[in-house]
Structure 1
Amino acid sequence: MKINFLYITLFSLLTFNASAQKAGVKKGDKNYDKFAYIEAIKTYERIAEKGFKNPEMLQKIANGYYYNAELVKAEKWYGELFAMTEEVEAEYYFRYAQSLKSVGNYTKADEMMAKFNQKSGNDLRGLLAKEKKDYREIIKKNSGRYKLEDAGVNSQYSDYGPAFYLDKVVFTSTRDTGNFSKRKHSWTDQYFSNFYSADLNQEGALSNTDRYGKKLNSKFHESTPAFTKDGKTVYFTRNNFLDGKKGKDANKVTLLKIYKATLVDDKWTNIKELPFNSDSYQVAHPTLSADEKTLFFASDMPGTKGLSDIFKVDILGDDSYGTPVNLTELNTEGRETFPFVTSDNELYFASDGHPGLGGLDIFISKLEKDGSYKQVHNVGEPANSPFDDFALIINKANKRGFLTSNRPNGVGNDDIYKFLETKEIEFNCEQVLVGIVTDAETGEILPNTKLTLFDEKFNKLKEIMSGPDGRYDFGEVECEKKHYVRAERESYNTKEVPVIIGKESGSTELPIELETSVKKIPIGGDLADIFGINLIYFDLDKWNIRPDAAIDIAKILDVMMQYPTMKVDIRSHTDCRASHRYNEQLSDRRAKSTRDWLIKNGIAPERLTAKGYGETQLINKCADGVECTEAEHQLNRRSQFIITDL
């Protein structure tokens, strides 16, 4: 999904140089609509500095910096925008949150994400932010696993997107080493990118940087190559340009495509674009699976969830390919890009949609048995920062690799950093859900109990029976997810129990206690206790049956109807307030009021006795002279239903 850029017009500015300002805005709009953000920002800022501001202009200035990954400057202008109005599209809350992280204001960033979630509906970025409020603790847990250093090949421009190639590293740079034409791109005010190479030694050090792949480099952008292990095939990103012809979309913008080339006599030849490219959408940043049978890439092709998604496609041979498949389980409405697949089938990628430290963060996911990528982990600091961090590659054999970042104090715009991974991420959480089913009253084990496992949306996952020892085992379940377990057994009440599975490998124990549906009724027992019936309360100085109390007395009525020989002694009580004599008379009236209600509704008089006990049987401290709350006094204003005969 390409970003929509909204054209704006400013109303007349009632100043001497209004027409000049309009001309400036028109020029800025023209540059902005062409994605020429650097020129657009300069125009808009000059106008804003003279006091001519409105929300639309502030949006464009902030967006210009945001799209060029200058998040600190974007934060300033988004701050001005939100100071002027919060009546903006939901996406601006997200961008402001990302920009706030770049200046370390995570508290306000989290507030903006909460508002973004409210305004955006079912946007996964907002839902993830709500679900993972402790994301900074999770990132902290995954941090400290990399020793990061400057790679030694960086220039004052943008250097990024490294790839392993035999005993070299090939990377992308916007430095210009040409002797004649020096062409800059208006989006970024940097030279068009080309490939460069550097020798790689066993300690991960790079040296002897030089221009690489003369036939691969064109007068437009090339970036992010992916080489086969034998070094004879390369997939790479380039602007829509082949055989001297430049392609454009409907807006006359030259987008990105993936191309393939083969090495013949030490020269890259037979350059051709892949068949799923299009003039109408972007396809970029290829990487190969460990077996080189699958190509992963980023795109905003139809079916994309966000600004860019990670896709994969089967390589069928003879320059034919399958149908691209969206990795929907890890993509968000934000940017997922720069994939890299290791020899262990771990997928690294950059995203600003999953909770992170700000800008693009690097994440890792591992191929599941069903072919999906369900678990997504932030790789932590120092690989990630509040700025854009992306394009990580790693050699799993020696744990050495490279990544790109535009964090401060680098050499240029984007810089390549080398690293040594000192500890692998605690990745595969393997949890089993087990437990035992017992009688809630006696503790007796309950074998042959039917147990059904549901996910958080009550989709049925599995059905089993408890064993002879009352134990059950659902086997492996998904970590950090909410599930429900339903237990069903004859003569027992069905019970559903929620459980949240642990976040680390291990076992989640869920004991289930079932209550029998056939109650044992002892002489002298209180029906309120036996059947879980609420106490019958009365208002202060009243003895009439309250509407809420009538519901519970109706339960008593039903029980006595089920047991026609049962006899009950109704005992009513008061609190300590008023005199003993008054309370005794009041409670007696309450007891008889309850008895009369039951008789009126079908219970024979001889089955009921009733007596009031006043304040003689208080159930708490609230005697005369003791200060108590109204709620504490209420507990003493009650009735009991004692079984005297069956």
Structure 2
Amino acid sequence: MKNCFLSSLFIFLFLVGCTSLQQKGENQFAAGEYQLAIGTFSKVLTDNPDDSDANYFVAESYRLSNRIEDALPYYDKLLEEEGSFENYMKKAKSLHDQGEYEEAAAAYQQAKEHTTSDSLLALADMGAENMAKIEEITDYWPYHELQNYELLNTSGIDYAPVVSEDFLYFTSSRRASGMYPATGQGYTKLFRARANGVKVDVQNVQPLPEFQNEENLNQGAITISPDGNTIIYARGNSLSKKDLPEVNLFISYFRGAGFTDPIWMPVNEDETYWNSTPAFSIDGEELYFASNRPGGYGGIDLYKATKLANGDFGNAKNLGPEINTPGNEMFPRPMGEQLYFASDGHPGFGKLDLFVAEAKDGNTNITNLGKNINSISDDFGIFFTNFPKEGFLTSNREGGVGDDDIYYFQDNTPKPKVVNVFLNVNTLQKTAQGETVLPSARVALYDSTKQTVGGDFSNEQGRLRFKLEPNADFTLIASKNGYFTKSIPYSTVGKTPAQEDLIQDVTNVTLDTTIVLDKLELEKAIVLENIYYDLDKADIRPDAAVELDKLVKILQDNPEIKIELSSHTDSRASDEYNRDLSQRRAQSAVDYIISQGIAEDRLVAKGYGEDQPVIENAQTEEEHQRNRRTEFKVIEIEE
């Protein structure tokens, strides 16, 4: 009888103890003390691993304290008892955050079997589609490299770096005076250290000097206006019932000798809304931030508020469904036409990834920054010290120093191998003996935009050298008193090795070209070769137009000359007929040249018929052909 009473008493005390432990854990969970709740319910699960309430609260505590990857075994326990859409969706998110993308996609499909709601089915489909899109993600900056700032980070929390006036400001749990019961980490405060770009004076980190860090609550992400006179930061998570119930934005202004005490911002709208991760626009006229206020598209959305006349910010507007998702978007970083932000709702590797939103062709394109920036862990809080080549971000990826760590990134794009192109130019002249050296000729070099990029005189050997850009187009113009000026195109396109074929850091390529100048003499006839007309016709044929274009070029290069263009026939028709035909042909040629932009007063058409044969008494067809010719001669040179 006594033994039975003792057994009954033990069972009663055990049940009372379990009930008390359960209630304690639920109270901790309701208060947001998730780390404490995990510890309490873990004791319940030690005695009863199948306790559904304990498994639920541990899973949710991990999820709500941003450790959903640790919640998977507890969701599995719940699903063993009863499948539900909500728990399958949370299981899928947990698998996603561990990089198990195929298993996550399968869990999303299983979730669909437990609902008939169109909106919930669409949510599961979006999750599965995001898993399929992960393979398509490429690196936005292929040569950016990320490094943990080990000397700056601690074993606790370090995150949300921003730079202002040669100081790095950031949030950290170092020197914490209490523990935040939701995460088991110390409360966070604001710190700063001198910085030059991404080089930080890690030996002299100091608490924020502008105003006092508060104890037993979290000071969160900070932003500083471009002029350095306004500080906005997130503050919350106090356990005091007299304090605000949620994380809100506070603002401090520089007034004369120092900064004012921070005050609650009206842009929060309601003290029960979560508002955090603020960032100024480049001009300081807009404030971007994250909020869970009603009317959004998911858990946390991004908003933008405009600066009011009194210096405050208001008229907050949701950034819309192109940027915001059913998941969470936070840590905005506006950079002119681009907005960088963190999200777990767009296709990503797991948890928060960094993205960029860009307006193109009337649409907003969202791009994941890629695996050289993002990981399966949280990646967020990007800040540029030299946009877009250098800056900081935060990550809690594996291999860090503590929990959230500060990383720096730099653009390590390999320097292209150098190709030097040298063009050797030879200047020659036409003489009775052929082509001979023409010294002291002026050669000017122009690029494709007609800008002068070089010029010099040829030496006594008629040589000079230019250094040219590879894969570019140029024009060379050679001139000398007493000679026709001549311009010729020159291109280095295709004349140098491709970058991938280069072996040495510097490769020199030498090319050659020759410019031959004709003497400029008054009344000296110059035959235009290959100017042909159809029998008894004066129309300019296409092949003749090609040759006349060369004369057009001479006239363009030598704007100071006027010419006579003459046409000659052979003697196998009457004098009158030949003279009329040659005049019509000469005029036809002149008309063509005028049509190409040459002024009419620079041209004279003259038909000589058969009066000026090259060969008197021509007999053969070859001799007649030499007499049938088109010539030009310079008849005037303007000074």
Please say whether Structure 1 and Structure 2 have the same fold, judged by a TM-score greater than 0.5.
yes
TM-score of Structure 1 vs Structure 2, range by shorter chain: 0.5 to 0.7
Alignment partner of 2:37: what SS? helix
Residues 526-553 of structure 1, C-alpha deviation per residue, up to 9 Å, x if partnerless? xxxxxxxxxxxxxxxxxxxxxxxxxxxx
The residue number in structure 2 matching 1:238 is 235
1:35: how far off? 0.7
The residue number in structure 1 matching 2:309 is 317
Alignment partner of 2:288: what SS? strand
Alignment partner of 1:418: what SS? strand
1:412: how far off? 1.0
Are 2:344 and 1:352 equivalent residues in the alignment? yes
Superposition CA RMSD, Å: 2.7
1:265: how far off? 5.1
What count of residue pairs does the alignment treat as equivalent? 395
1:203: how far off? 4.9
**C-alpha distance in 2, partners of 1:109/1:54?**
25
Cα–Cα, structure 1 residues 269 and 378, in superposed 2: closer, same or farther, change >3 Å? same
Alignment partner of 1:375: what SS? strand
Amino acid at match of 1:94: M
Amino acid at match of 2:379: D
Contact 1:389–1:406, Cα closer than 8 Å, also in 2: yes
Contact 2:273–2:293, Cα closer than 8 Å, also in 1: yes
Are 2:62 and 1:38 equivalent residues in the alignment? no
The residue number in structure 2 matching 1:147 is 145
Are 2:85 and 1:93 equivalent residues in the alignment? no
Cα–Cα, structure 1 residues 114 and 57, in superposed 2: closer, same or farther, change >3 Å? same
Are 2:29 and 1:53 equivalent residues in the alignment? no
Alignment partner of 1:122: what SS? helix
Contact 1:290–1:345, Cα closer than 8 Å, also in 2: no
* Runs of 4+ residues over 6 Å off in structure 1: 13-16
**C-alpha distance in 1, partners of 2:280/2:361?**
19
Are 2:375 and 1:382 equivalent residues in the alignment? no
Alignment partner of 1:276: what SS? helix
1:308: how far off? 0.9
1:368: how far off? 5.8
Contact 2:266–2:314, Cα closer than 8 Å, also in 1: no
**C-alpha distance in 1, partners of 2:412/2:125?**
33
Counterpart selection for 2:214 from 218, 222, 228: 218
Contact 2:305–2:314, Cα closer than 8 Å, also in 1: yes
Cα–Cα, structure 1 residues 294 and 24, in superposed 2: closer, same or farther, change >3 Å? same
**C-alpha distance in 1, partners of 2:64/2:412?**
34
The residue number in structure 2 matching 1:169 is 168
Counterpart selection for 2:258 from 267, 275, 278: 267
Normalising by structure 2, report the TM-score. Answer: 0.57
1:206: how far off? 5.0
Which stretches in structure 2 are left out of the alignment for 5+ residues? 1-9, 414-639
Contact 1:163–1:224, Cα closer than 8 Å, also in 2: no
1:322: how far off? 3.4
1:287: how far off? 0.6
The residue number in structure 2 matching 1:191 is 186
Amino acid at match of 1:158: I
Contact 1:310–1:331, Cα closer than 8 Å, also in 2: yes
**C-alpha distance in 2, partners of 1:121/1:145?**
43
Contact 2:104–2:128, Cα closer than 8 Å, also in 1: no
Contact 1:125–1:354, Cα closer than 8 Å, also in 2: no
Counterpart selection for 2:334 from 337, 341, 354: 341
Residues 36-87 of structure 1, C-alpha deviation per residue, up to 9 Å, x if partnerless? 001100111111121253333212111212222334422232233333332x
Alignment partner of 2:235: what SS? strand
Residues 422-467 of structure 1, C-alpha deviation per residue, up to 9 Å, x if partnerless? 57xxxxxxxxxxxxxxxxxxxxxxxxxxxxxxxxxxxxxxxxxxxx
Q: Quick one: percent identity of the two aligned structures?
A: 28
Cα–Cα, structure 1 residues 131 and 77, in superposed 2: closer, same or farther, change >3 Å? closer
Are 2:406 and 1:410 equivalent residues in the alignment? no
Normalising by structure 1, report the TM-score. Answer: 0.57
Cα–Cα, structure 1 residues 143 and 116, in superposed 2: closer, same or farther, change >3 Å? farther
Contact 1:166–1:229, Cα closer than 8 Å, also in 2: no
**C-alpha distance in 1, partners of 2:171/2:378?**
16
Which stretches in structure 1 are left out of the alignment for 5+ residues? 1-12, 249-253, 424-646
Alignment partner of 1:392: what SS? strand
**C-alpha distance in 2, partners of 1:67/1:41?**
11
The residue number in structure 1 matching 2:59 is 62
1:127: how far off? 4.3
**C-alpha distance in 2, partners of 1:205/1:215?**
22
Alignment partner of 2:332: what SS? strand
The residue number in structure 2 matching 1:362 is 354
Cα–Cα, structure 1 residues 141 and 113, in superposed 2: closer, same or farther, change >3 Å? farther
